[in-house]
Structure 1
Amino acid sequence: MRLRRFAFPDSIAARMVLTVVVALFLTQAISTLVYLTDRSEGPPIHGPGVLVQRVTAIVQLVGSTPAADRERLVKAIDDPVLRVEWHPDRPPELSDYTGVRFDGLRRRLRETLNIPSRAIVFEVERRDGDDRHEGGRHRPPPPPFAGDDDRRWGPHIRLSIQLGDGSWLTFTGGDPLEGPFRVIRFVLWMGALVAVILVSSLWAARRFTAPLAGFAAAAERLGVDAEAPPLPEAGPRELRAATRAFNRMQARLARFVADRTQMLAAISHDLRTPLTRLRLRAELVEDPEMQRKMLADLDEMEAMIAATMAFARDDAKREPRGRLDLADLLQSLCDDRVDSGHDAVYDGPAHAVAEGRPVALRRAFANLMDNAIAYGGGFTVRLEPEEGQCRVHVDDRGPGIPEDEFEKVFAPFYRLERSRSRDTGGVGLGLSTARTIIRGHGGDIALANRPEGGLRVTVTLPR
């Protein structure tokens, strides 16, 4: 482990720096390879010295060759860098460029060829719309270059030299660097460079962010299952520190819930003994009306203690998750309410498969239905299976509730009906328990008043 950490950076910042350095190194390596590959072919023959030597050799060779064989010889010499043509007569439209720019080349060619009196004509390609006159005579403009580049051979210049028998050799500059194959190869090199950098960057980014994705998934899982196993401590140093803190937080939350449950269990156990004594003493009260009220209060206290224990323990939450038929579960709950004489209607498909804890979901939807019966007189359950989730609407037939109470009714022991009478509702834990269970499955509950009257409870569950 120590060797691996020494060989590879142990922090996010260092790994980012390493990624940038590697990407730059790859860029420089491929650029160097491109340069060396192009350089291996040799530079184009554009320099004046090389030009004079090659033109001299070609003129001497062609001049010493019989006229009948010169056409084939010129075709063999011709190449993309230096185009060579042989003309038995003077080529048409020869207009010598008499400026000083090519005087040096003309002088060197006359010296090397030893032809002081033969014609050597330089022609420069004109640019559109550029007309110049020198000495009352039309002159072609200079090439579109400046400085030292003016002396370099290029496709804009044509050199014509008269041979001893009156025929002419014409030399035209070419530039293979501008050829289509060269451009295509350059594009391929650059595409390969971009691809290498892109692939290496994606690989590094995925490698660096994979632990972050696991960390986010663990945080999301904690909101659904507080008893999830701790997250493995892996990745850069900063992420390992965050994971360690996350695991400690998860352990503290688990201990807090366990301590709360244990405390409530102890309070419940301690309260049952005095409640039993109070019930025995209430039996000795001679006034029947007073006795009835005392026993009713004791029953309500016991019910509140039992509901509190059920809400705190949430034993059903510990059952394993599995595939279940949500439609069948809702239909059975509605049938049970109809058998008890209540107004309950199911509207939805006969089958809808979802994943969850059957006992916990049955308890959650039973609380919602019983709440709709207690405050709305009846309800209709509508199931709407969707892509990736199931949506369940529980519509009651009551007056609805104020919108500013939508969130308050989910608080434990909160009731809109302030009398606390069990005849008008429970102890105020039904909606709290239902939302705890639904959110434990990764879903949620929302309330809304229907335009036609009544409250709508919408439950969303992932499939």
Structure 2
Amino acid sequence: MCALVALAFLVPLGLTLREEVRDAALADAARRGALVTGALAVSTDPAAVRRAVLASGDDPAIRPVVHGLGDAEPVGRAPESDLDRARTEQRSIIAAVDGGLVRLDPVVLDDRIAVVETFVPDARLREGGDRTWWLLAGVAVALVGAAVIVVDRVATRTVDATAGLVGAAIAVGDGDLGVRVEPGGPRELVEAGYAFNRMADRLVAARTDERELVADLSHRLRTPLTVLRLDAEGLDSDDTGVGTFSAAELDRRRTIRRIRQAIVTLEGEVDVLIKTTRKAVTRETGPAECDVSEVVRERMVFWAALAGDQNRPYQVIGAQLRVPAPVPRAELAAALDAVIGNVFRYTPQGTAFEVAVSRRDGYVAIRVDDAGPGIADPDRALRRGASDQGSTGLGLDIAKRVAVQANGSVSIDRARLGGASVVMLLADPGATPRQVSRFGLVGRMAREVREQQGTRWPRRRS
């Protein structure tokens, strides 16, 4: 294909150059003939004409020949028929003769018409032609070679990029989701490479989301397991090695022992399941809304029974009126169970706690306080998978993720009761948007200056 393109370009160029050489040779012949025709127009003296002929060129073979002056006719190359045609038509003509071309220029004298014959040999017509064709052939070979090299390089890049993309696709199909490709080659393959990387990233995100969902669902199982374990601890002793018991009492104590062992085993399995699937972050698939007060009242019905069994004083504040929040009901319930479950799990029996709901400044606050020992390192407690109590460390992270999903946050502080205070802030969907003041930046800068100086500007009151 490259050779055809080179030929299609160079062959017309060679023919054009050949025509230019031929035209240049004929133009030189016209110039030499014009010297003689000019001399004839001035004088027909043979001596003057001879001087003009000698001045037209150094090569006698190509000097002009004048026909029709009346003297002895010179020997020329043009046949008589061409001479008569030039006289009859009274215009310059070019005729082919042996060894080249002749240019015949008629000159009208007083009583006759003379013809100036100028010969152009074939060597002049093809001067430099062979060299030109060889040069063009070399150019054609160079172009074809360069095209072959460029096409080979481009094809190599394309093949390498395609092979890399195929290898990465096979690796992803085999389960290696960490493989990525370096986009290269033509634009289409580059786009395919970026699309492949985006697809692989989404596959990783989808798989980690599924794992995290399993971890969160497993963590939800810890709440009823905690209740079962606490209830099992409140049962009678399961010791059957000391004392004498009836068959019924012995069977009852063995049943209690099996229940406790099953709960411990189940808690261990849930912990293993959470620890193996807790490395990613899930994303809520769609917007939702629930009533915070209703969720708090519903979950406190569950926890109140367990609080009564453990003699834990508790109080619910602010859960009478409807308070909307932009989170799914099940997610908020799971977050609330995770926070309250930590109170039951990490504080002694009889420790008081308090759940409060408030709404102000565009946020809904859910506060869970306890009278326990508190949390020594709040920042570490909020990090996913980090725990100083030997647990999975997902409880507060579930609450934090729900709060972030609602454009809020989670904070830990010292509670009024003396223990830990966990506050979940959720954006209030019913709050009125604040009007932005165009003097807000100026006022804020002035306030910062006053705080740095430790003084306030006096303000007169009317």
TM-score of the two chains, using structure 2 as the length reference: 0.35
Q: In terms of Rg, which structure is larger?
A: 2
TM-score of the two chains, using structure 1 as the length reference: 0.35
Greater relative CO, 1 or 2 (CA 8 Å, sep 6+): 1
